[in-house]
Amino acid sequence: MGRLKLQSGIKAIEEEPEECESTSSNKAALACMINSEVGAVLAVMRRNVRWGGRYMSGDDQLEHSLIQSLKALRKQIFSWQHQWHTINPAVYLQPFLDVIRSDETGAPITGVALSSVYKILTLDILCLTTVNVEDAMHLVVDAVTSCRFEVTDPASEELVLMKILQVLLACMKSKVSVMLSNQHVCTIVNTCFRIVHQAATKSELLQRIARHSMHELVRCIFSHLPDVGNTEHALVNRGSSVKLEGIGHDNEYNFGNKQLENGNGGSEYDGQPSSVGFASNSSTGLVASVLDENTIGAGNGKEATPYDLHLMTEPYGVPCMVEIFHFLCSLLNVVEHMEMGPRSNTIAFDEDVPLFALGLINSAIELGGPSIRRHPRLLSLIQDELFRNLMQFGLSMSPLILSMVCSIVLNLYQHLRTELKLQLEAFFSCVILRLAQSRYGASYQQQEVAMEALVDFCRQKTFMVEMYANLDCDITCSNVFEDLANLLSKSAFPVNCPLSAMHILALDGLIAVIQGMAERIGNGSLGSEQSPVNLEEYTPFWMVKCDNYSDPSVWVPFVCRRKYIKRRLMIGADHFNRDPKKGLEFLQGTHLLPEKLDPQSVACFFRYTAGLDKNLVGDFLGNHDEFCVQVLHEFAGTFDFQDMNLDTALRLFLETFRLPGESQKIQRVLEAFSERYYEQSPQILANKDAALLLSYSLIMLNTDQHNVQVKKKMTEDDFIRNNRHINGGNDLPRDFLTELYHSICKNEIRTTPEQGSGFPEMTPSRWIDLMHKSKKTAQFIVADSRAFLDHDMFAIMSGPTIAAISVVFDHAEHEEVYQTCIDGFLAVAKISACHHLEDVLDDLVVSLCKFTTLLNPSSVEEPVLAFGDDTKARMATVTVFTIANRYGDYIRTGWRNILDCILRLHKLGLLPARVASDAADDSELSADPGQGKPITNSLSSAHMPSIGTPRRSSGLMGRFSQLLSLDTEEPRSQPTEQQLAAHQRTLQTIQKCHIDSIFTESKFLQSDSLLQLARALIWAAGRPQKGNSSPEDEDTAVFCLELLIAITLNNRDRIKLLWQGVYEHISNIVQSTVMPCALVEKAVFGLLRICQRLLPYKENLADELLRSLQLVLKLDARVADAYCEQITQEVSRLVKANATHIRSQMGWRTITSLLSITARHPEASEAGFDALLFIMSDGAHLLPANYVLCVDAARQFAESRVGQAERSVRALDLMSGSVVCLSQWAREAKEARVEEEISKMYQDIGEMWLRLVQGLRKVCLDQREEVRNHALVSLQRCLSGVEGFQLPHSLWLQCFDMVIFTMLDDLLDIAQGHSQKDYRNMEGTLSLAMKLLSKVFLQLLNELAQLTTFCKLWLGVLSRMEKYMKVKVKGKRTEKLPELVPELLKNTLLVMKARGVLVQRSALGGDSLWELTWLHVNNIASSLQSEVFPDHQGLEQKKDETGKSLVSDETGSAPSNETVA
């Protein structure tokens, strides 16, 4: 029977009836249901002998009242006409409740009655609108919690207990549970707890169900908390506080006022705890000794103000929750009764009770959540009592308890962290940081649980930020963020051991923190925008306050300032520990202490600065110097001893420094302490002297009790006797002194506090101090998802983090760990880049490059296959290049390592074939659509290996095909499938790297990074060596140069930044190369390409770019010769594309120098002349700046015997044609009408013209007749084509002297010289030269005649004519010249006569022009004088005619205006 009942009981717990709602509306169905329940109870009662027969006690009643009431209910039930909710539930509940209360019924009957009540409760018959529902619920709770029954057998007893739990839980879960009062809810929980307690001796099932029910109850009650209003009014402080006692006291484990009946022998439990048979396998018995204190509602403890009685009878809310929570916390206090030493790390009893209590507390916090902060009493329970216990249980040896404690703290952090700032600090400092490291004696399990908890915290996105902002940036708190970050880094480091789960766990935590920072980056407000903190003047650092903790624009600068102050104080502490005086001076210098020290500031420095040497502080405070005494009193004033025991206060005071050894110093220190203590806690003490004497007495007692050298210890009576009459002549209360005595005996006051011994232990006195501080501490800053402080935080943790991830990556062997590390690396890179921490990014790149294995000296035979088989190396390689592509802006020295990797891949033939060329050529095609590809494109694969290099093919596919092909040199077996797969993986990896985009996208790099990339390329290429370098080195140098040229071309807008380095590098190559090679070829043509591409865009740089081309002129002769034609073609292309952009003389000088050189080069001269033709044809690109240079170049082409004479003739035409430009410039100058400019321009034009004719003069001496004669014609054209501009007379004299006369003399020398065989037909040339002389002389006659030196000039002309008349060519007299010269002379004389230049004057001297003229003329042709001046034969009449006819006959090119004169 019992078993059947038991099963139905289980079902009732597990399966809620589903038909509630459908039946609740049906009156008849409900009536039937209650009827069947009545029947069920009666049926079970009838089976019992006591109830089965007639009732024979002699009373009037035929039947027992219980049976009667049930039958009466049966009669009524079908006759009710009203709706169910209008019927008082007490009517149909009372008969069942009577059965439950009755101590005459056996367990089976009570069980069935309980089931009936359970059914009624769960069918939703009761609702809030039901009449008298509140009273009915109270009746049910009262009846069930005072249930009585005879125990017939253990199984049926357990069943009833289960049913009780079931019904009570149903009461709490029903809709009408809100009608229950605070008192009833407490009663329900108390009853459940007692069943839990009793179940210890019962079956495992009952134990489990009882605990489950307790959990459900707590969940049910606390889930109601968010709906409860604020209950400030609920706190009462009446004079007569009502002590609410729980059900049962004096250790009686009964339900109600009567005992449970024991059916086995009819005897009752005697109420002694010892007689209750607790099962030995459970430690719930421990609760027995303290249960009298722990009953809910006992209101024990000084901190709890009991609730008023009327509050406990109101519908349930916060009062009952406070009572229940207090009760749960008090279950944890069992530890204290177990005499657990405060310094002990073990919990000496079974973990069962604490685990149970902690589980219930966790449920309460999960469901109460943030609503708890609205209820001060609940909050203060959590802040003080709960957290104090959590701190203690946190050091439990049991991993289960530790795990539960950590879960609770995580929940508290989520919901209530703003109210638990210092408690959280204490938890991390005293529990997590102690347990997560083996050096404090924690077991591996403890370490693991603590580390798991820490990692859970790290996964909360804002946790580390809040720790940093609230604790690390608060001078009174420890650096929790820093300590936790260091702990994670250290714990991830495998030191002399293989990688374990713990290392991976720590790594997860570390990466969670880093990824949290990386995710915040996109949310704005990067910390790097914060201006650096600078303290301009002294302000008391302990008084710094924040005006608004919710506005980041206010609190972020405040926090940064506070952190700066804290760092400076730490540095000051370091200085102080070495030399106190210098330490204080340093702090004065940083404006943290005033220029003139005051006692308060020094006291606060001692009080709030971590890391000070406590011996030095103690010596300073104990000093008799007046200032030190003032500091001591100010120091004591920083403590809060309000409501503190004297021994606790003394402990806290002496923890902050070492008490000096001298009695006078001790006296001074204790005086200051006593004064402060009496000021704040004067309760028992009469005056401060009493405090001083008692403090002294405690110090002596402490020494006596804890010094091993003292053999005879002071007793309690001794101590009390020693302290007679010290309280203003009276005695102190004995119990007060006894308490002090025992406190000191149990727990030593440490007068020599340990110097920075890691993480502190939480002693009771420290906890009291923490609770005091928590009332005054700064408000908790709640961080949001923006990256306000990440810059500073990351700067602190980046180094250890990169090191830790790298070491794990190095030791790891599983791909998922690799991936975790890679995620960490990428997050680090993102943060470094976004917070502009270039050094960190460089460190990361250096670290990663090592893992690519590309930098290792290759000992492997087949490095490509090895790379393909090495997952770690491939992942690292992809990561390096991902970082380079994504965050290249912030890489500096790291470029060198990246380039080393690229070069290694290049050497292995793994790079895409045209990494560098593509980088430059794509943009080039779009830039010069008309020109087609420049010739250097044929060289873009210059790094392709030549015969001597070990590589046989380049580029990805080449490498692959090389593997597949059979080598001709040595037979090789076909590659295996594994090798092919490894190759395939290698190729895929390289493709993922997108190496080429580093260079093609370099135009988007920040300037600093771009410059570093260029420098890295130059560094990687190495310094060019004179003489032979190895093919491999040359290959590397060529490749680097290609890349350098590529990024230069891609960054034309920033060419100034790169130019100096690029130019110097190319210059080094050009000047150190003595033989043609790929490197110098790439350098020269790269330089030309840069000029071609950049000239159109960078006019301000044109000179510098063109000057760089002078490097080409410095090429070694052999090198220059090899590349001359190609260079010329490039220069030609450069000129054609950019002639309009070349403005300066210097630029043109470079261009014309290059072109001039080609004049004598067989292959190059054509292209060079083509370029010159482009510049000079029709004066298209002739400028004053380049005129002389171009003329000079043209002269060199005219003189060059390379190519046909026709080209020389064309060159001469270019020269003579350029006179047109001079005329044009002269006209333009005249139009400018600025006197200075005109005269300057004329002067310049004159000089240019002189250079032109001088150039032609030189060509007139050419061996080739055609060229020579054409040069004379051209010269004549230039000399006579100057109408457009007036040349000064002096210039003409120069021209005659330097050009015409010199040319005539030189030609004469050649004609008469010994080498006439080289000069054909000189006679014709001489004739042309004579005509030129005559023509030019006559053309300029008017201007020249006015010169004082005309006579000399004229005699020069005559003397040349005379020489030419008599010249012998090849030893023979010429035929033409003797005829030509007299004719020309005659014509000249006639014109001179006509113009009045040659007339007979009566001169005194015999050397007049007239006489000298005839002296020479007669030597040439004696008949001329009579022909020109016939004696007295009408000379005057014939003058004009003769002049005209002669001039027109002989000198057809003479200007007409002169002949008419």
Positions annotated as catalytic residues are: 662
- Its sign, for the CA torsion 1390, 1393, 1398, 1401, is positive
Helix (H) or strand (E) holding 614: helix 614-622
Provide the H-helix boundaries in 1402-1455.
1409-1420, 1424-1428, 1435-1450
Alpha-carbon span 304 to 378, nearest angstrom: 10
CA 1278 to chain centre: 73
147's CB contacts (< 8 A; 6+ apart) are 100, 101, 110, 114, 160, 164, 255, 256
Alpha-carbon span 641 to 682, nearest angstrom: 10
Is residue 300 helix, strand or coil? coil
CA distances from 84 to 69, 72, 388, 815 (A): 20, 18, 52, 68
Residue recorded with tokens 């082409």: 1197
Is residue 1082 helix, strand or coil? helix
Cα Rg of the chain (Å, integer): 56
Burial class (CB within 10 angstroms; exposed 0-12, middle 13-18, buried 19+) of 306: buried
One-letter amino acid for residue 772 of the chain: H
One-letter amino acid for residue 394 of the chain: G
Is residue 932 helix, strand or coil? coil
User: What does the angle CA 384 – CA 388 – CA 389 come to, to the nearest 5 degrees?
Assistant: 125
One-letter amino acid for residue 120 of the chain: I
Alpha-carbon span 68 to 73, nearest angstrom: 9
Alpha-carbon span 1217 to 1172, nearest angstrom: 13
Is residue 1241 helix, strand or coil? helix
Tokens of 219: 């969940």
- Nearest of 1307, 1297, 1276 to residue 1344 by alpha carbon: 1297
Alpha-carbon span 610 to 573, nearest angstrom: 8
CA distances from 743 to 244, 353, 649 (A): 31, 27, 12
Alpha-carbon span 1312 to 470, nearest angstrom: 108
For residue 150, the cross-strand partners are 106, 261
234 DSSP assignment: G
Q: Which residues of 958-982 are buried (b: 16+ CB within 10 A; e: fewer)?
A: bbbeebeeeeeeeeeeeeeeebbeb
Alpha-carbon span 1026 to 1015, nearest angstrom: 22
Residue recorded with tokens 């915290």: 457
CB 884 within 8 A of CB 897: no
CB 245 within 8 A of CB 239: no
Helix (H) or strand (E) holding 1454: none
CB 146 within 8 A of CB 256: yes
Q: What is the dihedral of CA 57, 62, 64, 69, to 10 degrees?
A: -160
Phi-psi group of 240: left, alpha or beta (phi > 0 → left; psi -120 to 50 → alpha; rest → beta): beta
Residue 495: CB atoms within 10 Å: 7
